[in-house]
Amino acid sequence: MIKNSQERMALPPPPSSYNKIPTKFPHEASPNSTQILPTPINKPKIRTSRVNCISPSPSSSSSSQIHRRVSKFQPRNLRIRQQLGEPRIFNNYSRAGGVVVKTMEDVSIYNSNGKRNGRTLDHLRHVESMATMPSGAGKIPRLNAVILGDSLASEEDDVICPNDEFSSQALIPSPQKYLEMYRRSIEDPAGFWSDVASEFYWKQKWGQEVYSENMDVRNGNISIEWFKGGMTNICYNCLDRNVESGIGDKIALYWEGNEPGVDGSLTYRQLLERVCQLANYMKDIGVRKGDAVVIYLPMLMELPIAMLACARIGAVHSVVFAGFSAESLAQRIVDCKPKVVLTCNAVMRGSKIIYLKDIVDKALTESTGNGISIDTCLVFENQLAMKREATKWYEGRDVWWQDVVPKYPTTCSVEWVDAEDPLFLLYTSGSTGKPKGVLHTTGGYMIWTATTFKYAFDYKPSDIYWCTADCGWITGHSYVSYGPLLNGATVVVFEGVIISDLVILAITYTLNASAPFLALSGLSWRDHIILHFCNCYLEKAPNYPDSGRCWDIVDKYNVTIFYTAPTLVRSLMRDGDEARNFSNITRICHVKIYAPSDFNYSLTMQYVTRYSRKSLRVLGSVGEPINPSAWRWYYNVVGDSRCPISDTWWQTETGGFMITPLPGAWPQKPGSATFPFFGVQPVIVDEKGTEIEGECSGYLCVKGSWPGAFRTLYGDHERYETTYFKPFPGYYFTGDGCSRDKDGYHWLTGRVDDVINVSGHRIGTAEVESALVSHPQCAEAAVVGVEHEIKGQGIYAFVTLVEGVPYSEELRKSLVNAVRNQIGAFAAPDTIHWAPALPKTRSGKIMRRILRKIASRQLDELGDTSTLAEPAVVDQLIALGNSKI
């Protein structure tokens, strides 16, 4: 333990290579040598292109034309490459195995009859053209140059080339393979998806028509159907099919409890038996095909068991995140009218007990008042959190899971369902406040989640996969439960929370004088620090147990694929290898406590690099656009600059990935979701609904259906059509904004309702936030629009600083200038509001609705804040409102 400032100042300084730039450049080396350069720890502040590739002299005349293009930029680009990272060598312009990359300029976009395919005309050639994708020219003269190392990105973009070793074993090892499969998925969707679906078990095959669709409200009611007439069961394909294929003894689920050292596992055979027992019980109490079942469970193994048991008997599950309030739960119960509610008595969140049964009791009382009575509430006794003796009980309604379910047989007949029969309801937020019941059907969703999981993560049978999402969200449905299990994967399920904990090594006497201090009567500031130090250290609330838990789990289970949210990445960035986190004291005391930079640096190896993480081979990001600085940290620190990142864009409504990198196939740009998945035809339209070609920004829509698309909003098809199909007739409207750069890469800019119109300029909040976060002293930012008497709307930014950085007028100006420099003066924030933390849901999403109310001072219209991970943050932001600069 560091006891005083003298010891702290004696800590070792950063390594000598820190932030240094080599002075000898590759083009200055001898002609016959290739120079490999060291990678600096921190990227120098230089705004230009980055391509981690060097092209050697051509060995054949066939590549001379491309080589001349590379050579034209060589002095500048090689200098930049040396400054920004270790180059990668291409051998004779090959991606793998010394094979010369084939030019795609002569690839035809015509079908066998010499005619353009209607679905291909405006979409396939966009994918084939990195210069203008997805609405540009039909040829791709730039593709080879990018693959071979030419810098064709914009001045602000980085390009990270695939690792040759990884690409050589990848399922999609090259752009050519991707284009070949994508071409077929667009030109022949029926044939493509029929072949994919045939890999799964169908009791009865679908008819001659693989799919039918009407995506245009002008032609009647919206209707989407895939594999209609085919009879299958997703539980059978997740479990029975895998057991019968010989992997019954393979681990299906590793469960890691809230407390370190508390864990468990189930093989595919054991999981099948548990599912059958619960399915038999539900059948015995009268649950039938088509009946709804509400599941209000934490991340215990019983949660995926409950989902699969419902699917096995044809019941429609509606999982409600076990963090929603009783009121929110009651809303969902009233809407879907379930036959039974499944829950547990309590759960540990860090060191805090959440009494779930009490919440369910209140919800059931409220739903009864609204005319919906539930006869059975099945309660799992979570003994690690609470004994049954302390649980409130309603005789005749409440039943202990452990008392009844284990008594039932471990085999259960399968209810074969039509591909278009409903699988689950998942409620998502609506702009009107009423939750929307997104309905997904069985067959299309099964094929979509299985296929997207397989290719987006380059899944191999030896992989150990961990997604940090809760099954209460769509990510947990598609990529914790169904997608991985359909592929026979081993999945890590984590009960706890992955948030940083405060481990105090030293406290300086330096406080941020500009921050307001909430003094308690009779206590000095030093008393406050001691008091709250004890609270944080002894109670370990709200973080548990430390920021290394994430990487400890990775090492413990040898996780190879890690999928998480940008919020967690930014949190780990802040807490781990770049700055010491004193957020617990900051959050509670309303003060800034910080230490000199050498002290901060001495802690940089504590939470990430002290763990091996050597098992990792693919990283993933989900939930929101990941800003480039977080992407680079994720790639360089967590992935040791060797793990590709699948930065996925999709929605609850889409069922699975829509735009995502395929590891090993394409060069990546930090922060870009890259290109569409097979069968997805993204278009960018203007306000009139006209498709925009080439480099542009606008509204992201999808043309044509895909198997995983949701079919309706439960009980409100009119709202379904109005929300998603009427804004731009003929398209599915995602509600998101998107930019496409000159190389065809897609950049999600956030929700359209998060677009601010400043003096006629439409500015995406994600763009401003990314500019703010690029500032070295900004840890996180959230931007909202507020009324402005001159400009129409002004930009209001909530900014969380890196720990140890004092807030000042100079820093405010610096942050504003960062936005001015990266976007333009029109995007400069009008207000910077200091925020010790941002209001987030337990899944990590920022509640911008609350920030808008705070910014506009509509403090009596904040609404329900009980679903926030830390409701107290709202009061802090309100109290600090007068201190904004």
DSSP characters for 276-302? HHHHHHHHHTT--TT-EEEEE--SSTH
Instruction: State the greatest distance between any 2 C-alpha atoms of the chain, in Å, as a whole number.
Output: 88
- Beta strands at 211-214 and 712-713: parallel, antiparallel or unpaired: unpaired
Rg (CA), the chain: 27
Backbone angles phi, psi at 317, to 5 degrees: -85, 145
As a whole number of Å, the end-to-end CA separation of the chain is: 38
Distances (CA, A) of 473 to 323, 623, 648, 873: 11, 10, 15, 23
Closest CA to 560 of 611, 620, 606, 482: 620
Output the pLDDT for position 548. Answer: 84
Q: Which two tokens stand for residue 89?
A: 């060598």
Report d(CA 453, CA 170) in Å as an integer. Answer: 14
Contact 565, 543 (CB under 8 A): no
Task: Name the residue type at position 345.
Answer: N
Task: Name the residue type at position 247.
Answer: I
Q: Which two tokens stand for residue 156?
A: 């602000």
* pLDDT tens, residue by residue, 816-871: 999 888 777 778 999 999 998 999 887 778 888 899 899 998 888 787 777 788 88
Output the pLDDT for position 88. Answer: 32
Report d(CA 138, CA 104) in Å as an integer. Answer: 10
Distances (CA, A) of 746 to 456, 736, 741: 16, 12, 7
Q: Which helix (H) or strand (E) element contains residue 377? A: strand 376-380
Closest CA to 233 of 34, 410, 93, 415: 415
Neighbouring-strand partners of residue 465 = 491, 561
CA–chain centroid gap for 425, Å, is: 21
Backbone angles phi, psi at 67, to 5 degrees: -60, -35
Contact 510, 594 (CB under 8 A): yes
- Dihedral (C-alpha) 401, 402, 404, 405: value to the nearest 10 degrees? 80
Catalytic residues: 753
Q: Mark out the alpha helices in 372-482 (DSSP H runs).
A: 401-404, 442-456, 474-476
Q: Tokens 């008091």, residue?
A: 531
Q: Mark out the alpha helices in 315-400 (DSSP H runs).
A: 326-336, 356-369
Q: Is residue 151 exposed (0-12), middle (13-18) or buried (19+ Cβ within 10 Å)?
A: buried
Q: Tokens 């209607």, residue?
A: 118
Q: Tokens 């050498």, residue?
A: 598
Output the pLDDT for position 625. Answer: 83
Cβ burial 301-317 (10 Å sphere, 16+ → b, else e): bbbbbbbbbbbbbbbbb
| Helices and strands (H, E) in the chain, number of each type | 29, 32
Neighbouring-strand partners of residue 763 = 756
Low-confidence ranges of the chain (pLDDT < 50): 1-127, 129-156, 431-433, 499-543, 576-605, 884-885
Report d(CA 606, CA 178) in Å as an integer. Answer: 40
Closest CA to 444 of 196, 207, 112: 196
Three-state SS at 648:
coil
Closest CA to 191 of 629, 636, 662, 679: 679
Output the pLDDT for position 568. Answer: 81
Q: Is residue 607 exposed (0-12), middle (13-18) or buried (19+ Cβ within 10 Å)?
A: buried
Q: Which two tokens stand for residue 179?
A: 């284009």
Report d(CA 591, CA 582) in Å as an integer. Answer: 10
Three-state SS at 474:
helix
* pLDDT tens, residue by residue, 356-380: 999 999 999 999 999 999 999 999 9
Output the pLDDT for position 760. Answer: 54
Q: Mark out the alpha helices in 405-463 (DSSP H runs).
A: 442-456
Cβ burial 810-837 (10 Å sphere, 16+ → b, else e): ebbeebbebbbebbeeebbbebbbbbbb
Three-state SS at 30:
coil
Report d(CA 429, CA 530) in Å as an integer. Answer: 41
Q: What number of residues does the chain have? A: 885
Report d(CA 393, CA 385) in Å as an integer. Answer: 17
Task: List the domains of the chain with CATH numbers.
Answer: 233-494 (3.40.50.12780), 759-885 (3.30.300.30)
